[in-house]
Chains A and B, each alone.
Chain A
């Protein structure tokens, strides 16, 4: 969406700063001096942008739109994923989804991840603010905070599997600080499992939020801080009145990502518990329907429903927090 030409003039508004540090691009001049162009060159000039578009479009269509269209088509069939004939069943799969409460019950698990995403944003914002001021070893801390984002999700899952094992790192750690009476089976206890998994998710994604926030904060012009300093504003006031409004858009974007991410959690619970012990999420349920019970039709319908839910949630969220432009000066 952001790549559409013609919007380039408003790019700097992403950070909420008009006339910010980026020099405003000069309006494109229409080719300068007019020469009589030869017809071949004109055609070539017309055709070239489309040829550049061809490769990404071909990839996008082959690997995104065709499978998505197929998904929608399968959702109206009772296909088992193998058979050469696909029987049309109309909207039966959708009726099934909305008449079977156990399919929707797993969204309850998403609440853990939504709660965790608030925590994640708070951490990220806190560290981004601190490290945007001149702090000792700030580059080291930036590296440490961003590091988990670089690790493969499967590796993180396996790592935390050992971390949460009985007599594993977590238990040893709690023993070392004298809190062993609070240890439990971190994954085996049905009351603890989703908290453990959601915390893993926080550890994994905080770095990404942090980098987004930090980038946005750093694009706020430094004169504003200097002016605030002269006026005697404290660091907290600077955060409250300069940073927070300055990166409002990024925060709102992060919330949308976190919310839709929480509804579609998959990797961490799938690797660490396989959805057992009440940690199943909607995507895991979908996978099970498709590949364990061979109901690819129903699973496709579930995937379509999830897509619609995410779109609706995003829409509501955008309505509640309107995307107004922010001016700091």
Chain B
């Protein structure tokens, strides 16, 4: 009897221990990759509508011996960041944004020298460290403002705005002449507020990040940071955004913009396809969805920052690196993933997609930001300063101040941001 008890106890204990482990099999025999790989993706929509299964089937035509298991993860950033502390985070995965460049070697397999890969691919600066490349972009985005062409035309706007002041006066026209909400902040979901930061580079300054990191007061008239945040502030201050920002919804906003209830929203080019789909669903004309650059010109030309979307990398603990690498190369070069998203292909000589026809028509110049000399410096400073440039918290506060729901004004808030930034800079440097 006592032995039986001990046996049960042993089973219980080993079950607990096993909960933390996992098994991955496979390897490669000879030259052709074989075995199992697991691919993690944030695109649960593409798994649901079987598009991803189509990619896998096409991949298996080229690599019949590899079995690909897909894992779609809804809260991708949060869940995968947590899983990084185990060894079990798939074989191929999108690199979470929270991993700083200097941490890349801890978790991801080097895919080659950045200098060499630059001959084939673009948008490589984000996931490069010490000359090695740890992730490759699945596609690229141009940044700008999604707008409803019909509404803008109804308001009497004939050419896209060239300065922030023109943008504001155009939104005022829309407010007075149409029933549409001129601008939608997506304040409640919050993350679309980070799209404002993705515009960085709109003044054709490729060193905008390094400039910000060497400045003790980036929120000073004349910097890109000031122009960006002052524009958002003015939009809200002038009552040109949605009346109750606390009840916005991202999914709903797509249909509202597509049907002309909302006139514009700052986003990336990845969103265009989604808004066109929303237009089709709502019975509106997908051709109404337009894309304009950030309202600022340098030497008479518009500029739009382009950068990689999700970068995929290979788990450094993967048991089947050859097959994982085969998937990465195949996915970037042979799959239709970038084309399906209507996005810029990651290849250097890739053609511009039709979704960016508006940019071609307006002769928008694409700007790719330079590689940072100290890759982790920017995130170190903004995390320390608790100013989430690419997040929602500090811009929600900005919107609150602009609509009179929080104390202060633009000047006092920018002074506070500058103070925090300077303090964080000095503490990070030391």
Contacts and interface: CB of A to CB of B under 8 A. Distances in A.
Interface of A: 40, 43-44, 47-48, 51, 54-55, 58, 62, 80-84, 161, 164-166, 185, 187-190, 193, 273-278, 288-289, 291-295
B13 A274 contact: no
Given A80-B98, A82-B100, A83-B103, 14 more contacts: A40-B2, A43-B2, A51-B5, A55-B12, A58-B13, A82-B81, A166-B244, A185-B244, A185-B246, A187-B244, A187-B246, A190-B405, A273-B188, A276-B190
Contacts of A81: 81, 98
B246 A188 contact: yes
Interface stretch (B175-183, B224-232, B386-394): B386-394
A292 B393 contact: yes
Given A82-B99, A274-B188, A193 B12 contact: no
Contacts of B84: 82
A29 B188 CA distance: 65
A277 B396 CA distance: 8
A51 B8 contact: yes
B16 interface: yes
A62 B246 contact: no
Contact of B247 (A58, A188, A288): A188
Which of B12, B246, B388, B405 is the most central at the interface, judged by chain A CB atoms within 10 Å of its CB? B246
A43 B190 CA distance: 62
Contact of A51 (B9, B187, B379): B9
B1 interface: yes
Interface string B131-144: 00000000000000
A297 to B, nearest CB: 12
Given A81-B98, A82-B84, A276-B187, A188 B244 contact: yes
Among B391, B393, B396, the one with the most A-chain Cβ atoms within 10 Å of its Cβ is B393
29 contacts: A44-B1, A47-B2, A51-B8, A51-B9, A58-B13, A81-B81, A82-B81, A82-B107, A165-B247, A166-B247, A185-B243, A185-B244, A187-B247, A188-B246, A189-B405, A190-B400, A273-B246, A274-B392, A276-B190, A276-B246, A276-B392, A276-B396, A277-B246, A278-B405, A291-B78, A292-B393, A293-B383, A293-B384, A294-B383
Interface string B178-204: 000000000110100000000000000
Contact of B406 (A43, A190, A292): A190
Interface in B1-26: 1-2, 5, 8-9, 12-13, 16
Contacts of B98: 80-82, 294
Contacts of A293: 383-384, 386, 388
B106 interface: yes
A12 B207 CA distance: 73
A274 B190 contact: yes
B85 interface: yes
Contacts of B99: 82
Interface in B388-415: 388, 391-393, 396, 400, 405-406
Given A83-B103, A83-B106, A62 B245 contact: no
Contacts of A294: 98, 379, 383
Nearest to B106: A84
B85 A193 contact: no
A71 to B, nearest CB: 14
Given A82-B85, A273-B188, A164 B386 contact: no
Contacts of B383: 80, 293-295
A161 B247 CA distance: 7
Nearest to B249: A161
A166 B405 contact: no
A40 B1 CA distance: 9
B16 A58 contact: yes
A80 to B, nearest CB: 8
Contacts of B1: 40, 44
Interface string B87-109: 00000000000111001001100
A159 B100 CA distance: 38
A82 B247 contact: no
B252 to A, nearest CB: 11
Given A190-B405, A278-B400, A295-B383, A82 B103 contact: yes
Contacts of B78: 291
Nearest to A55: B12
B2 to A, nearest CB: 6
B96 to A, nearest CB: 8
Interface centre among A51, A84, A289, A293 (most CB of B within 10 A): A293
Which of A80, A276, A295 is the most central at the interface, judged by chain B CB atoms within 10 Å of its CB? A276
Contacts of B81: 81-82, 291
A164 B9 contact: no
A282 B386 CA distance: 16
B23 to A, nearest CB: 21
Which 4 residue pairs of A and B lie closest in terms of their CB atoms, listed nearest first?
A: A187-B246, A188-B244, A190-B405, A188-B246
B215 to A, nearest CB: 20
Given A188-B405, A288-B393, A193 B246 contact: yes
B84 to A, nearest CB: 6
A54 B244 CA distance: 54
A293 B386 CA distance: 6
A276 B400 contact: yes
B79 to A, nearest CB: 11
A260 B16 CA distance: 32
A193 B384 CA distance: 29
Contacts of A193: 246
Given A58-B16, A292-B388, A188 B5 contact: no
A274 B247 CA distance: 11
Nearest to A84: B106
A55 B78 CA distance: 31
A169 to B, nearest CB: 13
Nearest to A188: B244
Interface string B73-85: 0000010010011
